[in-house]
Amino acid sequence: MKSIYLALGSEIDPEKYLICKFYFESQLSDEEAAESIAAESSIGTWTDVQTMKEEIKNRLAAKVFKLEKNIMHIAYPLEMFEISVPQLLADIAGNIFGIKFVDNLRLLEVKFPSKYIKSFKGPRFGIEGVRKLLKIKERPLVGTIIKPKIGLSADEHARVAYEAWVGGCDFVKDDENLTNQGFNPFKERVEKTLKSLDKAETKTGEKKNYAPNISAPYSEMIERAQFVKDNGGKCIMIDILTCGFSALQSIGEENFGMVIHGHRTMHGAITRNEKHGIHMNVLAQLSRFCGIDQLHIGTIVGKMSGDKEEVLKNVEACIYKCGLKSAFPVCSGGLYAGHIPPLMEILGKNIIIQAGGGVHGHTKGTSAGATSMRQAVDAVMDGIPIEEFIKTHEELRLALKKWKR
């Protein structure tokens, strides 16, 4: 009996099917493994059922159309999908990770029909909108995360943010695990830090942005977003994975008219293993569909895993032409000024470069750390070798002195 799930060598119309590429390892034959994955992720189960109909098989069965050593390509009929990331994931990234006879399974790539993508709202600002807001035409944006991650009071938080902005940061954000704890209540922090922002804008003549971390149960998160907006904020931050896509898509649809910054904490539990789970580029695409304007995509050179090939795929997911605005790729994690030249060489100018320890750990403090970051950007933009530039730029020289290996 020919399987309804196998259509090796078939032509697939990319406007009628969602196309997924999986890595897999199985105790079954390649064809059996492919069939069980295509079945479980579309209309099938482990046995035949009396309630199945020919018409359903013809219309909705997923088709394995290419099968190589440990790689399968599956086409899913567009009709299967709602315009809902939770629903989408339940198909192409759901039960299939648990099938007993498939030892490893990794969703490597997804290609979406353009009309499916365009049904999502996508980023409201995107790279261009964020650049316009901050009046920065060409250079990378420079940001910091307030450190220590948790423990500062709201007053201290606002003061450190001020120093970072005045030193040269365009952007300040809360860390992923700072939300509304007793030592630093959300509302007090937002009010005080936004006042710092106003002062820093006046002082520097530059536009600045601040992303308070609103991550919380959804109803609370919405109230926090509204509070930021009511206090003149222009940005909110969400931990996209610990919050989840139901909340993320909904808050994007709500459209508070603020930039949404997406931190990807917990992604490593899903994306890290090279043989299992989901590649970050897929999660990046889905975050962009939901409306994330700025997204953490790895650093290549910092404290976190993720090599050049992986990070470039994540960047591509943020910016490829698809009818939605681009999401601004954010490099964050273990960075300092000295990482900026190699990062810009690999990723170009359309990135946000964030340093936490690399700003607040500067021997002369936060403001000098921020200055060192801007100096490194200036050096690259002006085409001046960093070793030359530090002769006249003390903050950058001290940053390299402390951290260069």
Give the footprint of its own copies on residues 208-267 (CB under 8 A). 215-221, 239, 241-251, 253-254, 265-267
Going by their DSSP bridges, the two strands 141-145 and 352-354 should be labelled as parallel
Q: Is the dihedral of CA 36, 40, 43, 44 positive or negative?
A: positive
Task: Output 43 or 343, the one with its CB closest to its own copies.
Answer: 43
Q: What angle do CA 9, 13, 14 make, to 5 degrees?
A: 110
Report d(CA 222, CA 83) in Å as an integer.
21
Q: Which helix (H) or strand (E) holds 103?
A: strand 102-111
Contact 224, 214 (CB under 8 A): yes
Catalytic, 263? Answer yes
Structural tokens at position 42? 């579309």
173 catalytic residue (yes or no): no
Closer to its own copies by CB, 92 or 133: give it. Answer: 92
354 contributes a contact to its own copies by CB under 8 A: no
Q: Of 10, 13, 15, 52, which lies in the binding site for its own copies, with binding defined by CB under 8 A?
A: 52
User: Residue 375's closest CA among 352, 351, 400?
Assistant: 400
* Size of site (CB under 8 A) for its own copies: 104
- Asked if 117 touches its own copies (CB under 8 A), the answer is no
Q: What are phi and psi of 75, to 5 degrees?
A: -105, 130
Q: Is 361 in the site for its own copies (CB under 8 A)?
A: yes
Query: Among the candidate windows 2-10, 64-72, 304-312, 376-384, which touches its own copies by CB under 8 A?
Result: 304-312
Specify which residues 213 forms β-bridges with. 237
x-marked contacts with its own copies along 158-177 as a string, rule CB under 8 A: --x---------------xx
- Shortest Cβ 5–its own copies spacing (Å): 13
Residues 138-157 within binding reach of its own copies (CB under 8 A): 146-152, 156
Binding of its own copies by 43 (CB under 8 A):
yes
Site map (CB under 8 A) of its own copies, residues 59-98, x = contact: xx------------------xxxx-xxxx-xxx-xxxxxx
Catalytic residue among 263, 313, 339, 360: 263
Exposed / middle / buried, residue 207 (Cβ in 10 Å: 0-12, 13-18, 19+): middle
User: Which active-site residues does the annotation give?
Assistant: 147, 263
